[in-house]
Amino acid sequence: MTAIGGFKPASRRDGALGVHSVGEFVLTVPEVEKAEHFYGAFGLDARANGDQLSLHTAGDGYRWGRVVPGARKAMHHLSFHCWEEDLPRFRTHVESCGVKLLDPPPGFESNGLWFRDMDGTLVEIRVGVKTQPDSRTPMQLAPTETGIRNAPYRRNASRAVPKRLSHILHFTPDVLGAIRFYERVLGLRLSDRSADLVAFLHAIHGSDHHVMAFAKSNAPGLHHLSWDVPSLNDIGLGAMAMADKGYDRGWGFGRHVLGSNYFHYVRDPWGSYCEYSSDMDYVPGTMDWEGREHPPEDGFFLWGPNPPPDFIHNYEAGPA
């Protein structure tokens, strides 16, 4: 998150118009206390603020999301960040795409541009820091020494602490329509896809292999929020700690093919997931990654246990 530190300008691709990051997500859930417990246990700094919850990374304090009370769990809106000089261009561009600009929703007044995506999900483009890294986030290997026990006692195990949001995977009835909308209107680009089942998109100014992804369902809905942790050990520590706290449903440990990241998904109280992710592929702002199609049976995961039968079920659309 180079720009947040403010020491050097974040990488950008000259000329092309595109958002550079996911800045924030806002979810509604019926019981905010459950969210406070879940996200706090996951390793985020979950701060109660009135009837809302704000979700920060523990290290830098950046606010990645908010959880607000609502009748059901749903994505209230997604805020994408762009460069300051690009916001006026985006205003013209979004309208030229035939997308109607809206007033901000009550309680979220801003100078950003608000509109609905192809499924009706509320989206904002606003000026904000580049939360995506400017280069690949290398996996950390803890140094080990010969002649001593290198693993601590379990009771002394360190806590997995996510460093940043990597990406969001959302359900959509129309994956190909989602690619078209997010490429055309927000300037994301396709990284990889499998038929009309799943698609992964990156940001053009240098980002992880995907900042947004879409999976096919009969309705919109959140599948997972993915959080970058520094090492395989952190993925394992996170999964173990969550199981110890009662969050023992999920999928992992494994490695994806599209994105190449190592993963463990922990099921949240509403049937979607938070992912511990490490070592994802990176698309620099200086290259044009060729978006390709991959056979679903080869592209989902390289190794790991089989996913639970309802892993791709959209509980926002109804029971499995």
Distance in Å, CB of 85 to Fe ion, minimum? 31
Distance in Å, CB of 97 to Fe ion, minimum? 27
Distance in Å, CB of 225 to Fe ion, minimum? 9
For Fe ion, the closer of residues 81 and 209 by Cβ is: 209
Quick one: which segment of 82-90, 229-237, 275-283, 309-317 binds Fe ion (CB under 5 A)?
Answer: 275-283
For Fe ion, the closer of residues 268 and 275 by Cβ is: 275
Distance in Å, CB of 256 to Fe ion, minimum? 7
Q: In this structure, what token pair is assigned to residue 142?
A: 């803890």
Residue choice 194, 226, 272, 314 for contact with Fe ion (CB under 5 A): 226
For Fe ion, the closer of residues 13 and 167 by Cβ is: 167
Q: How many residues bind Fe ion (CB under 5 A)?
A: 2
**Cα–Cα separations (whole angstroms), residue 15 to 36, 53, 116, 196, 285:** 41, 38, 25, 31, 12
For Fe ion, the closer of residues 10 and 215 by Cβ is: 215
Quick one: which segment of 34-42, 48-56, 141-149, 268-276 binds Fe ion (CB under 5 A)?
Answer: 268-276
Distance in Å, CB of 89 to Fe ion, minimum? 30
- Three-state DSSP string of the chain: CHHHHCCCCCCCCCCCCCCCEEEEEEEEECCHHHHHHHHHHHCCEEEEECCEEEEECCCCCCEEEEEEECCCCEEEEEEEEECHHHHHHHHHHHHHCCCCCECCCCCCCCCCEEEECCCCCEEEEEECCCCCCCCCCCCCCCCCCCCCCCCCCHHHCCCCCCCEEEEEEEEECCHHHHHHHHHHCCCCEEEEEECCCEEEEECCCCEECCCEEEEECCCCEEEEEEEECCCHHHHHHHHHHHHHCCCCCEEEEEEECCCCCEEEEEECCCCCEEEEEECCCEECCCCCCCCEECCHHHHCEEECCCCCCCCCCCHHHCCC
275 binds Fe ion (CB under 5 A): yes
For Fe ion, the closer of residues 27 and 68 by Cβ is: 27
24 binds Fe ion (CB under 5 A): no
278 binds Fe ion (CB under 5 A): no
Q: Residue 152's Cα: distance from chain center in Å? A: 31
Q: In this structure, what token pair is assigned to residue 155?
A: 């009771």
Site for Fe ion in 245-264 (CB under 5 A): none
For Fe ion, the closer of residues 115 and 263 by Cβ is: 263
Q: Which residue is nearest to Fe ion (CB)?
A: 226
For Fe ion, the closer of residues 45 and 275 by Cβ is: 275
Distance in Å, CB of 264 to Fe ion, minimum? 11
Distance in Å, CB of 313 to Fe ion, minimum? 16
For Fe ion, the closer of residues 192 and 275 by Cβ is: 275
Phi and psi based region of residue 40 (left: phi greater than 0; alpha: psi -120 to 50; beta: remaining): alpha
234 binds Fe ion (CB under 5 A): no
Give the binding site for Fe ion (CB under 5 A): 226, 275
